[in-house]
Amino acid sequence: MSGGDILASGISARERPLVEGLKRWVAIPSVSTDPERARDVEASAAFLRDYALGCGMSRAEIWPTAGHPAVFAERIEDPSLPTVLVYGHHDVQPVDPENEWEAAPFEPLERDGMLLGRGTADDKGHILMHMEAIRGILDTRGRLPINVKLIAEGEEEDGSEHFEELVRDHRQQLAADVAVISDTGMLAEDVPGLTVALRGLAYWEVRVETSSTDLHSGVYGGAVLNPIAVLSQLLAGLHDARGRVTVPGFYQGVRDLTSGERAELAQVPFDGGTFLASVGATADGEEGYSTMERRTIRPTLEICGIWGGYQGEGAKTVIPSRAGAKLSSRLVPDQEADQVTAAVGAHLRAAAPAGARVEFELIHDGRWVLTPSRHPAVDAAARVVSEVWQAPCVFIREGGSIPPVVTIADELGVPCVLFGVGLPDDRIHAPNERVVLHQLFKGMQVVGRLWDAYAKLGRQGLSEPLG
Ligand code: BES
Ligand code: ZN
């Protein structure tokens, strides 16, 4: 490419549309967990449908669900060619605490080779990386070497409640030889990777009630159960001094890694100290496991939120009648979300003192993922990723969860390749989410080369049994 093609900020004319498109899309606040944003999630779906057509997809449509809409798009060149199904999600996380953002979360700001804004990395940037890669191939060659389908979900951040039904209802239209899931990241800018494992998730709310009304803390205090104290004790008792979860049955089914697998994980270029220091966090967790192991191959039970009593200015001498908390577990092979939910619920009820009423409710859950190892689709992706980054591809076990991957693998019977270009300090779900633009540009190169690699393998070469 000639120097003249490089615009100010080091971004080429070929790359610029992705940035401008992403700015316009991120400006649509598609927060799926906020009912007031339902119209915005619809607008986000309409934006993507039009964008996909603009990039050369031959068909693009909005697929409504009982919750938020998904977007489907495809370009079928020739049914005898392999078909790739790309998965991403167009909904985003809430933005609170909003005052901690350096720029308004839905007014994307381009700075120092990054784009700041909610959804830039998780996951709108990834979807446009795919769409712009397609535009690029069509501009130069006029056709794709394979068939591409895109399914962009509208409620991944809210538990993917309707995704299974959506996939079942459209099984034929979604049929493919391989799925490429782009909603993950790599360990560092110079350490390219593919994700091969994700943890599952179960998310709950627990509420404790100890009286039928709030009580004057002088009139009743000292003589009654206090729901905040009860809840605090329940929560404090969930882990022992060695960082193990105390809930009976919690570890049922957990596969222990062999010493060989643990040695392999220890080889991954990852420094736990640096990882934690970069976010000002302190190491904690299960004794006998490294930071990497604690965040990937071990199950967790975390407290994600807690409330109860007076939260306003000054003092209010009252004992509340209720207190509550949000809890979640990250699950690993072969834990079952239903079994863990039953175990945690039973434990909390049993551990509460008489007179404390405990309600325990599942908000959502999703299974862990292990992608097939040594599948030709994965091998080809690893090769292409190393070529583009000019460094060996690292196989990553990720601590986060993407429940729809299980649905795609099970319902469509396709191998899933998890390729994403996020970085650990992209601050996804937190204030000042951002994406490093050249990661997206490199990702576009990967996509282009990967489609060629899959074309070369052909449908036959991709159809190796999953194992
Ligand atoms: N993109 C993330 C999953 C992820 C996080 C992948 C970190 C790689 C690194 C996804 O959007 C997400 O946030 N998933 C939720 C799932 C939940 C809402 C069911 C998660 O992990 O909390
Ligand atoms: Zn997310």
**Which domains are seen in the chain, by residue range?**
3-198+368-462 (3.40.630.10), 200-254+299-365 (3.30.70.360)
Q: What is the mean pLDDT of residues 38-54?
A: 98
Whole-number Å distance, alpha carbon 401 to ligand 2 midpoint, is: 9
Mean pLDDT across 155-174: 97
Model pLDDT for residues 392-410, shown as the tens digit of each residue: 999 999 999 999 999 999 9
CA of 401 to the centre of ligand 1 (A): 5
Distances (CA, A) of 241 to 75, 237, 238, 296: 56, 10, 10, 21
Percent of the chain with pLDDT over 90: 95
Q: Which ligand is nearest to the CA of 93?
A: 2
pLDDT at 278 over 90: no
Task: Reply yes or no on whether the pLDDT at 4 is more than 90.
Answer: no
**For 126-131, what is the mean pLDDT?**
98
Of the residues 156, 160, 439, which should be mutated to test ligand 1's pocket, given the most ligand atoms within 8 Å of the CB?
156
Residue 51, pLDDT above cutoff 70:
yes
Q: How confident is the model at residue 10 (pLDDT cuts 50, 70, 90)?
A: confident
- Ligand 1 atom at minimum distance from 420 CA: 8
Comparing CA positions, the residue from 160, 18, 193 lying closest to residue 87 is: 160
Which pLDDT score is estimated for 8?
56
Q: pLDDT digit string (tens) for 200-254? A: 999 999 999 999 999 999 999 999 999 999 999 999 999 999 999 999 999 999 9
Say which DSSP state 256 is in: P
Give the chain's length.
467
The C-alpha angle with vertex 298 and arms to 293 and 300, in degrees rounded to 5, equals 120
What pLDDT digit, counting tens, does each position of 285-313 carry?
A: 999 999 999 999 999 999 999 999 999 99
Cα 400 to middle of ligand 1, angstroms:
5
Atom of ligand 1 nearest to the CA of 157: 18
Residue 43 alpha carbon to ligand 1 centre in Å: 23
Cα Dmax for the chain: 81
pLDDT of amino acid 129: 98
Q: What is the mean pLDDT of residues 352-373?
A: 95
pLDDT of residue 6: 59
Residue 340 C-alpha to ligand 1 middle, in angstroms? 20
Residue 7 pLDDT grade (very low, low, confident, very high; cuts 50, 70, 90): low
Ligand 1 pocket, residues with Cβ under 6 angstroms: 122-123, 156-157, 159, 183-185, 201, 364, 366, 398, 400-403
The residue among 376, 447, 366 whose CA lies nearest residue 414 is 376
CB neighbour list of residue 443: distance below 8 Å, 6 or more residues apart = 126, 129, 133, 182, 419, 420, 421
Closest Cα to atom 5 of ligand 1: 400
**What is d(CA 112, CA 102) in angstroms, rounded to the nearest whole number?**
14
Task: Find the 428 Cα to ligand 1 centroid distance in Å.
Answer: 9
Query: Is it the case that residue 3 has pLDDT exceeding 50?
Result: no
Would you state the pLDDT for residue 418?
98
Question: Of 87, 183, 363, which is best to mutate to test ligand 1, by the most ligand atoms within 8 angstroms of its C-beta?
Answer: 183
The CB density around residue 411, as the number of other CB atoms within 10 Å, is 17
Q: For residue 2, what pLDDT is reported?
A: 42
pLDDT at 373: 74
Distance of CA 188 to the CA centre of its chain: 18
CA-nearest residue for atom 20, ligand 1, is: 401
Q: Strands 178-181, 416-418: parallel, antiparallel or unpaired by DSSP?
A: parallel
Average pLDDT value for residue range 308-325: 97
Please report the atom of ligand 1 found closest to the CA of residue 403. 19
Q: 343, 262 in Cβ contact below 8 A?
A: no
Ligand 1 mean position, distance from CA 440 (Å): 18
**Residue identifier of the C-alpha nearest atom 16 of ligand 1:** 401
Q: Please provide the average confidence, as pLDDT, over all residues in the chain.
A: 96
Burial 450-459 (b: 16+ CB within 10 A, else e): bbebbbebeb
Q: What is the mean pLDDT of residues 180-197?
A: 97
Helix (H) or strand (E) holding 426: none
Residue nearest to atom 4 of ligand 1 (CA): 400
How many CB atoms sit inside 10 A of residue 211's CB? 18
Nearest ligand, CA 94: 2
Q: pTM for this structure?
A: 0.93
pLDDT higher than 90, residue 177: yes
Q: Could you give the C-alpha distances from 55 to 48, 130, 135, 143, in angstroms and in order? A: 10, 10, 5, 12
CA of 118 to the centre of ligand 2 (A): 10
Tell me which residue has tokens 């943890």: 199
